[in-house]
């Protein structure tokens, strides 16, 4: 989908972005050496900074960092976001609340559709096209999906020809080879309706929010893209993402202007 450069700011205007940055990164402990996972460097900067710069390029400048482990390190590095031309505010979990609980406590601030990113993924995609797709279909949630390089530990889903999610197969209760490799990429646009499905306290965005909404007949759309999206949550994946970055492979395949 083409977007003219003078349309880019308008498409995502006033949309907030939440980045989940509370992960300790135990599977990366030999590389992170105590740093929170989003501050582990890819090339010359942390993966979190790569995400913030991507948001800035797409005029998504109002960012909430949901923090837990290593919150002080993240605050010290990111501050108010002024150095990148964005506005960063913070939400902190004293005890881990899971992906759902982290969003639930932000409910008073998330009164309109918002972008959500997992804080451990490298992204090279056109976020404006994603927002346009979401607004065209007006679902309760849009999930970015792609063929997963590790389907054995990814949530997979079935999508109809119109792009609507019809079934969700959790990594915890299915054999990956039984289902199409359409994996959840960890990037979402959510309406406040999804927050209503989340209980107070610790919860899972996927199980308690998205799957529950799907079972209740809410409309979930899948935005299937070949663009670069890869998590760096294990040493093997971190090595691959670092190599891809050094080779200049992490660039959007769709046009931004």
Domain harbouring 129, CATH code: 3.90.550.10
pTM: 0.90
**Which stretch of 24-28, 67-71, 111-115, 227-231 has the lowest confidence by average pLDDT?**
24-28
Nearest to 139 by CA among 192, 103, 100, 183: 192
Q: Which domain holds residue 177?
A: 7-246
Q: Which residues contact 228 (CB under 8 A, 6 or more apart)?
A: 122, 123, 124, 125, 244, 249, 250, 251, 252, 253
Provide the number of structural domains found in the chain: 1
- Asked whether residue 1 is assigned to any structural domain, the reply reads no
Convert 105-163 into a string of H (helix), E (strand) and C (coil). Answer: CCHHHCCCCEEEEECCEEEECCHHHHHHHHHHHCCCEEEEEECCCCHHHCCEEEECCCC
What pLDDT is recorded for position 48?
Answer: 96
pLDDT tens digits, 211-225: 999 999 999 999 999
Computed over every residue of the chain, the mean pLDDT equals 88
- Asked whether residue 34 is assigned to any structural domain, the reply reads yes
- Asked whether residue 33 is assigned to any structural domain, the reply reads yes
- Asked whether residue 90 is assigned to any structural domain, the reply reads yes
Tokens of 82: 């002024």
Find out whether 240 and 246 touch, Cβ atoms under 8 Å: no
- Asked whether residue 56 is assigned to any structural domain, the reply reads yes
Rounded Cα gap, residues 196 and 213, in angstroms: 9
- Asked whether residue 256 is assigned to any structural domain, the reply reads no
């Amino acid at each position: 989908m083409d977007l003219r450069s003078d349309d880019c700011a308008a498409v995502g205007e006033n949309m907030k972005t939440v980045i989940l940055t509370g992960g300790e990164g135990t599977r990366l402990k030999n590389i992170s050496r105590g740093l929170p996972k989003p501050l582990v460097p890819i090339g010359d900067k942390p993966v979190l900074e790569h995400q913030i710069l991507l948001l800035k390029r797409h005029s998504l400048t109002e960012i909430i960092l949901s923090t837990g482990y290593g919150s002080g390190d993240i605050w010290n590095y990111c501050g108010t976001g002024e150095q990148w031309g964005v506005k960063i505010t913070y939400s902190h979990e004293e005890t881990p609340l899971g992906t759902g609980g982290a969003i639930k406590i932000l409910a008073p601030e998330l009164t309109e559709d918002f972008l959500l990113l997992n804080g451990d993924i490298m992204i090279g995609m056109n976020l404006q096209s994603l927002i346009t797709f979401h607004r065209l279909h007006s679902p309760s949630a849009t999930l970015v999906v792609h063929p997963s390089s590790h389907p054995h530990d990814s949530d997979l889903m079935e999508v109809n020809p119109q792009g609507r999610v019809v079934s969700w197969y959790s990594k915890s209760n299915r054999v990956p080879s039984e289902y199409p490799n359409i994996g959840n990429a960890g990037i979402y646009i959510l309406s406040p309706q999804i927050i209503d499905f989340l209980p107070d306290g610790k919860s899972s965005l996927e199980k308690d929010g998205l799957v529950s909404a799907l079972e209740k007949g809410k409309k979930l759309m899948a935005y299937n893209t070949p663009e670069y999206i890869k998590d760096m949550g294990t040493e093997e994946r971190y090595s691959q993402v670092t190599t891809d970055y050094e080779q200049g492979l992490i660039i959007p395949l769709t046009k931004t202007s």
